[in-house]
Structure 1
Amino acid sequence: MNRSGVPEPKIAYAPEHYLCRRAQEPLELDGRVDKSFWAAAEWTGDFVDIEGDLRPKPAKQTRVKMLWDDEYFYFAAELIEDQIWATLTERDSVIFHDNDFEIFIDPDGDSHHYYEFEINALNTVWDLLLVKPYRDGGPPVNSWDIAGLKTAVHIDGELNCPSAANRMWSIEVAMPWTSLRECAAGGRPPSSGEFWRVNFSRVEWQAEVHEGKYRKVINPETDKPYPEDNWVWSPMGLVNMHYPELWGYVVFTDEYGEPSAFELPADEQIKWELRRLYYRERNYFEAHGEFARDAKLLMGEECWSIEPVIETTSSLFQIKVPSADQQSVFCIREDGKLWRE
């Protein structure tokens, strides 16, 4: 068991949400996002810094569209950019060493068994499955691939050419449900009205032109590139994408566009408070060498809507709270796994 502490995100719980409509025609991928296929899909809001309001707004716009049908989950991304460059050409390279665009999907929302996808302007991809977040000791499964994956990149400008009139690069991705259902509840694709937890990230490095080519700007004090910027759809409150409980809600609508609105279910707020206790229980162990048995030691003087019950051993804990309708119980344990009984 990983007994290290877990940073508690400095953010109010208000994940973004998106009503994902059904596609009305087949998609022929070319990376362009201005064709009729995407006309029915709304843009997300512009991306913000990964830490949310703790950091300035991004200097360059990023936004996403989503659609779905019986075969695929579709994504389109538009990244405004005057420096369009990429270097990595081998699949499953660590793509965020280039500027990139990333998709994260947790189908059942338990924060375990989720997907990460990264792509650069060369249309090189890295797709992997996370058994559990790194904070919980979960290994990434790099050998896992999205079977049947389709991707395309369009460059409005010229790749790796600083003298070009660069404006943006855009991406289309089609992920088949036959792969994504692996980590979904019941091993199936979503149904209309259901939601999956999803987030997006854009990695942006400081770059300069040297001898007619782009290169990362080096910090003279460290002799290494300056840290990258991380711009996201739904902010995390800390520099770490691997907090799936903070990702946005993508709600799948039917052919009539129903549901036409989203209201955060009461159970989702309850699960968030349970998550906060998980962070604090892990941090309590790091500070004291044992888990707190009294919830008041974790909750302090703050106002909570839950009355948890904690069970502990020398190396394990489980925290339980009733669901909003009192008909079931939510549980979370020391490795962050959350489930309903």
Structure 2
Amino acid sequence: MASASQSPVSSSPFQPHWNLYPRTYVVPKISFPLLDHLDGDLTKDVWKDVPFSDVFDDIRGATDSPAEDRPNPQCRTRFKAVWDETHLYIGAILQSDFETQAHFTERNAPIFQKDSDFEVFVDMFGSCHHYKELEVNAINTPWNLMLDKPYDDGGVEHSGRIAKPGDDLYYEVEHQKTATKVISGKLNDPKNPATWSIEVALSYRDLLAHVKGKEHFVVRPGSMLRINFSRVEKQGAMNWTWQPQIVWDPHRRRYAGYVAMHLPDSWGYFVLGDQHHARENNPNDLVAPKDPSWPGRLAAMNIYYAQKAYSQQNGGTYATTVTELIDLVDAIILEPFRVEINLTKEGYVANLAGNPDGSIVTVRQDRLLSIAQIDQVTISTG
């Protein structure tokens, strides 16, 4: 993904796009060998000056969430993050005033179906394809999987749960570490709710596995990636996330929240920072660096959701012009762009020119997003 840019000027014609920019966390760099000291304890000195994220809320966001589904102050979930040359590290604390379930002990078991869990979703290039998911319960049982594309686009799980080494659907991590710790209370005890913490070391090599164009990702200050976090409780009845899952709804003609984590275009951003970010910067600050391709990404996904609705209304066919989609798009978001739609055997390819950074944004019927500079050198692909 492209390096970060400074925050846009408020008079920009792209201000409506920036107003919809997702949450951002600036990740401080560390020199401490955290990989060798992972134990689930966030009181270590390496975490001391690293600020917490915003508190998780219902997955649908404040506008669309029923009041009873939003966490109370006794059920806070927050994370911290740091990075070095080989790994991205996440540390989180999950508070609770109800029973914390932790039963699965076999690696790659479907934890979310029964246990309380902490989930991480990472899309290194923001392509919406070949993104990675990690779920961990309170007794440190992990489930790693890769989605070749979102389920709604015909994607399937790739993991050691459903396939063996050598099979097409096999995916496994090689350099990841996780650790958990019960801070208070007791697991599986409704009378003594547990608060627990987790540390995760995510290897860039694992995160980039099976991703085309991975040579374009450089681990350095300013590099960006798309990411989100979820806490699932009570067999999926509760879904609390860092960044709400909000996307364009062409039927309601507004941006709406959904109980669906597999909307990678709605995830937040991590920006790799310098070591000084831990002490001097608020990682959740509104002036944090932003992805210069964001306006084009947002507009491209507007086309994607409109085309999906159009296809459902027209027997599986796709529109060839924005005019045909006029009742299904956000005209303000598309206004700055020149849109070209070409039908293909599989569906369509839409190219959007006019992004403030000069890039061309492309989206397909299967949600694949790619970003190319004017010289046609692709810097973000699936």
Are 1:283 and 2:309 matched, yes or no? yes
Change (3 A) 1:187 1:178: farther
TM-superposed CA distance for 1:13, in Å, is: 2.8
1:70 Cα deviation from its structure 2 partner: 1.3
- Alpha-carbon shift at residue 174 of structure 1 (Å): 0.9
The answer to whether residue 44 in structure 2 is matched with residue 35 in structure 1 is yes
Residue type at the aligned position of 1:252 = L
Within 5 Å, give how 1:156-167 maps onto structure 2. 156-164=184-192, 166-167=193-194
Partner Cα separation in structure 1 for residue 55 and residue 356 of structure 2: 36
Deviations 1:255-313 (A, max 9, x none): 34399652434421221111111111122111102111121222337323323111124
CA contact (8 A) 2:101 2:187 kept: yes
The answer as to whether partners of 2:129 and 2:148 remain within 8 angstroms in 1 is yes
Matches within 5 A, 1:26-105: 26-27=33-34, 28-53=37-62, 54-55=64-65, 56=67, 57-59=70-72, 60-82=75-97, 83-97=99-113, 98-105=115-122
1:185 maps to 2:214: yes
Contact 1:284/1:292 (8 A) holds in 2: yes
5+ unaligned residues in a row in structure 1: which ranges?
A: 1-11, 206-224
Aligned to 2:348: 317
Q: List alignment gaps of at least 5 residues for structure 2.
A: 1-18, 161-170, 246-256, 282-286, 373-382
After TM superposition, the score normalised by the length of structure 2 is 0.76
Runs of 4+ in 1 over 4 A off after TM superposition: 258-261
Q: Deviations over 1:9-43 (max 9, x none)?
A: xxx83311000001242221221212212113210
- Measured on the aligned residues, the alpha-carbon RMSD in Å equals 2.2
Provide the secondary structure at the position in 1 that maps to 2:71: coil
In 2, Cα distance between equivalents of 1:340 and 1:14: 17
- Match for residue 368 of structure 2? 337
Query: What SS class does the counterpart of residue 324 from structure 2 fall into?
Result: helix
- 1:132 maps to 2:149: yes
Secondary structure of the residue that 2:325 maps to in structure 1? helix
> Deviation digits for residues 173-203 of structure 1, max 9, x if unmatched?
1122232232373165532101100000000
Distance 1:71 1:287, change over 3 A: same
Matched pairs, number: 309
Preserved CA contact (<8 Å) 1:146 1:175: no
In structure 2, the partner of 1:215 is: none
**Aligned-pair identity (%):** 33
Q: Is the 8 A contact 1:201 1:230 kept in 2?
A: yes
1:146/1:52 CA distance change after superposition, 3 Å = same
Residue 314 of structure 1 deviates from its aligned partner by 6.4
Report the AA paired with residue 71 of structure 2: P
Asked whether the equivalents of residues 52 and 235 of structure 1 are also in contact (C-alpha less than 8 Å), the reply is yes
